[in-house]
Amino acid sequence: MLPFIHIGPLNVPTFGLMLWLAAMAGGFVMEWNFRRAKISADAVGMVAVTVVAGIVGAKLWHVVDTPSEFRELGWRVLWDTAGFAWFGGLVFGISALVFQGWRARIGGLRTLDMAAPAAAIGYGVGRIGCFLSGDGCYGLPTNLPWGMSFPHGIEPTFARVHPTPLYELGAGLAIGLWLWVRGGKARPTGSILGEYLILTGAARFLVEFIRRNPKIIWGLSNAQLASAGSVVAGVLLMVWAANRRASVQEEGVLAVEKTA
């Protein structure tokens, strides 16, 4: 593992480096999506603001989710390079995108649709940082051939465990590619976001079964409960988007009949 890259007197954390690369990847994907849709707004700037909001949200949610760590480290936990909660980053990131989309007169929901492929790919790239730094986002012990130990990680483990960050990297890239292809054709506003919430929620829910996170209720972790909520929200959003499109089409037909 490589928690830090040593460049002269500088110690560059690989987690932060990959977070920066994830933001760059997300910015490029969203810029390409804007160009494909002929939207002139600053996609890269939107991603930059969203990343900052997501980092703040992920750290705050982690503090709320692990109060024992806060009691042990105090306010220092806010500056720790480890400890970021996916759900907090999702909530704060979505809020930032909605505001920026409204301000740019694109529409909050449409902006989220456009950002969905970038979010999935950026999340996957960011997980490389978890893998390189060995920050504790490991899976349970395994005898599978690809099981790995992280003896030099920030939170070392000598047992062979599931390299769950790599699983999430693969899932993020696959989901991002799927959403990119789906977004190439006209679809009801909100439907791409709905698919994103369903797919990412399902992926995180499944990987949690082999991660080390503590279970809090019904044998599920906090992340699994949040992921289940994400899937439900995605299904409801897709149903709403489909019904809204059907309603708009019906109103259009009635308007044509009245003018005929």
DSSP track, 78-105:
GG-SS---HHHHHHHHHHHHHHHHHHTT
Q: What is the pLDDT of residues 71-87, one digit of tens each?
A: 565 555 555 655 566 66
Q: Residue 67: pLDDT above 70?
A: no
Q: What pLDDT shows up at residue 259?
A: 55
Assess whether pLDDT exceeds 90 at residue 116.
yes
End-to-end CA distance of the chain: 71
- Residue 250 above 50 pLDDT? no
Q: Given this model, what pLDDT does residue 218 score? A: 85
pLDDT at 252: 47
Q: Does residue 2 contact residue 14 with C-beta atoms inside 8 Å?
A: yes
Average pLDDT over residues 219-243: 90
Average pLDDT of the segment spanning 39-64:
82
- Average pLDDT on 199-210 reads 93
More confidently predicted of 37 and 88: 37
For the record, the structure tokens of 235 come out as: 């299904």
Which tokens in the block code for residue 193?
A: 């976001």
Task: Show the tokens assigned to 104.
Answer: 């740019």
How confident is the model at residue 41, as a pLDDT? 87
Higher pLDDT, 165 or 214: 165
> Percent of the chain, pLDDT > 70?
83
Of 10-24, 51-65, 110-124, 180-194, the least confident: 51-65
How high is the pLDDT of residue 214? 79
Enclosing H/E stretch for 150: strand 148-150
Q: For residue 136, what pLDDT is reported?
A: 77
What tokens does 60 get?
Answer: 């705050």
Q: Please, what is the average pLDDT of the chain? A: 83
Contact 62, 88 (CB under 8 A): yes
Higher pLDDT, 67 or 115: 115
In this prediction, residue 194 carries a pLDDT of 94
In which band, very low, low, confident or very high, does the pLDDT at 253 lie, cut at 50, 70 and 90? Answer: very low
What does the pLDDT read at residue 81? 53
- Reduce the DSSP state of residue 13 to 3 states and report it: strand
Banded model confidence at residue 256, pLDDT cuts 50, 70, 90: very low
